[in-house]
Amino acid sequence: MRTPTTRRVGVEEELLLTDAATGELRPLAREVLAACEPVRGSAPGAHLKPEFFLAQVEAASSPQEALDVVRDELVDARARLADAGRPLGVAPVAAAAPVRVDTPAPADELSPGERYAEIEHHYGEVARRSLMCALHVHVEVTDDEEGVAVIDRVRPWIPVLVALGANSPYWLGRETGYASWRSRLWNMWPSSGPAELFGDAATYHGVVRDMVSQRTVLDVGLVNLDVRLSHRYPTVEFRATDVCTDLDDAMLVAALSRALVTHYADRWRAGRAEERWRVEELRAAAWQAARFGLDDTLVSPVSREMTAAADVAEELVAMLEKPLEQTGDTARVSRSLAELRARGTGATRQRTAFAEAGGFDGLLAALRDRTAGQ
């Protein structure tokens, strides 16, 4: 096992495929992916692949130490999807939930394959209601013991990441009142959300085996915890955040996720004790983050009191000063937080575009332009 110095990061973002003129979802993932050209530039680049629905694709960066390289790969992936979709009248959109009421019925738009059919059969309407797009951040760890130690310790900060990346105020033609409605929908799945403390890797894997044997989850790929051990890579995977239309927001989440892993891995190795949080507290904090984003208060993991959201974000950055400096991410994080404070989260930008453009057509046009214009 490679011992990470600067931990490599991989970012996966799910994207919707929309009609380039009307913004309606188009179930053309197979056609668009088949038409995608190889990466322009250095190999290996981001990998493009299908997702659960035919109106959805995923772009996954390669593992990199430099977040600038991760960002460039995702920019390239978005460009490749746009180029491939153009002759088909299709444009990719980085929005965390379908915003129009004229979205095709999800049950009619599943990607082909035995596993997807089994998921739909087993989970029923939960699966059919899950046309949504997330941001997943993989951070390299030394081994499963280190990974589980991190998973146990990062839990109170996950709602802050949800607030920073909130990007789903609209769903199927409705203003939900939430900054991240996708995260609320995602919690319909039986294994989604925060977990109890595991303590060690053996307990973690035992819990996963039990969930699979009990058919709560069909396989390890459907263990949808906010933070989990990847079943494919030597990483801890952060899964709670909306996909971000603006890639700078995504890189902010990635930088903070990596710094959190390093911070808590170091504390674990030093034998430092951490405060305990009940799952009920974490669920309530996640609801607050999803409801208001950065526009209200959040539960501070430092004081455990309701605190202005911007101040909680600053508490996180202050705690992570050392690991951010080690990876050269301090300036990126400071710049991105300043931009978020000035223009608001993705959810705020969606609401602004909706108001200024007079409805969903204008909002979808703005989302298309911002997805492509990184």
Provide the β-strand partners of residue 239.
Answer: none
Please report, rounded to a whole number, the percentage of residues in the chain having pLDDT higher than 70. Answer: 95
Tally of domains within the chain: 1
Q: Which residue has the higher pLDDT, 39 or 88?
A: 88
The pLDDT of 243-247, averaged and rounded, is 98
In a domain, 121, yes or no: yes
Q: Tell me: the pLDDT tens digits for 306-350? A: 999 999 999 999 999 999 999 999 999 999 999 999 999 999 999
Backbone angles phi, psi at 242, to 5 degrees: -60, 150
Q: CB atoms < 10 A from the CB of 205, how many? A: 15
In a domain, 1, yes or no: no
Question: For residue 273, what pLDDT band results from cuts at 50, 70 and 90?
Answer: confident
Residue 245, pLDDT above cutoff 50: yes
> The domain that contains 268 carries what CATH number?
3.30.590.20
Read off the DSSP letter of residue 103. P
Helix (H, G, I), strand (E, B) or coil at 369: helix
Q: How many angstroms separate the CA atoms of 348 and 211, rounded?
A: 37
Nearest-Å Rg of the Cα atoms of the chain is 19
Structure tokens at 90: 């299709």
In a domain, 210, yes or no: yes
Residue 3, pLDDT above cutoff 80: no
The pLDDT of 114-127, averaged and rounded, is 92
Provide the β-strand partners of residue 299.
Answer: 306
Q: CB atoms < 10 A from the CB of 2, how many? A: 8
Respond yes or no on whether the N-terminal peptide bond of residue 98 is cis (omega within 30° of 0).
no
In a domain, 102, yes or no: yes
What is the pLDDT at residue 45? 80
Scan for tokens 């979205």, then name that residue.
Answer: 103
DSSP 334-357: HHHHHHHHHH--HHHHHHHHHHHH
In a domain, 350, yes or no: yes
What is the pLDDT at residue 104? 53
What is the pLDDT at residue 65? 97
In a domain, 362, yes or no: yes
What is the pLDDT at residue 358? 87
Provide the β-strand partners of residue 90.
Answer: 19
Query: 39-48, 91-100, 108-117, 356-365: which range is least confident on average?
Result: 39-48
Task: Tell me the pLDDT of the chain averaged across its residues.
Answer: 93
What is the pLDDT at residue 107? 43
Q: Which residue has the higher pLDDT, 201 or 23?
A: 201
- DSSP H or E stretch at residue 201: helix 201-213
Please report, rounded to a whole number, the percentage of residues in the chain having pLDDT higher than 90. Answer: 89
Q: How many angstroms separate the CA atoms of 16 and 26, rounded?
A: 8
In a domain, 269, yes or no: yes
Q: How many angstroms separate the CA atoms of 114 and 233, rounded?
A: 24
Provide the β-strand partners of residue 93.
Answer: 16
Closest by CA to 299, choosing from 155, 152, 137, 149, is 155
**End-to-end C-alpha distance for the chain, whole angstroms:** 35
Scan for tokens 């600053």, then name that residue.
Answer: 314
Closest by CA to 137, choosing from 315, 265, 294, 256, is 256
What is the pLDDT at residue 100? 87
For residues 141 and 260, is the Cβ–Cβ distance under 8 A? no
What is the pLDDT at residue 105? 53
Q: Apex CA 13: angle with CA 8 and CA 17, to 5°?
A: 155
Residue 64, pLDDT above cutoff 70: yes
Pairing outcome for strands 56-60 and 47-50? antiparallel
The pLDDT of 52-63, averaged and rounded, is 96
Question: For residue 14, what pLDDT band results from cuts at 50, 70 and 90?
Answer: very high
Which residues span the domain enclosing 202? 9-372
What is the pLDDT at residue 42? 46
In a domain, 4, yes or no: no
What is the pLDDT at residue 305? 97
The pLDDT of 173-186, averaged and rounded, is 97
For residues 198 and 146, is the Cβ–Cβ distance under 8 A? no
Q: Tell me: the pLDDT tens digits for 137-163? A: 999 999 999 999 999 999 999 999 999
User: Between 247-269 and 309-319, two packed helices, what is the crossing angle to 10 degrees?
Assistant: 50
Residue 1, pLDDT above cutoff 50: no
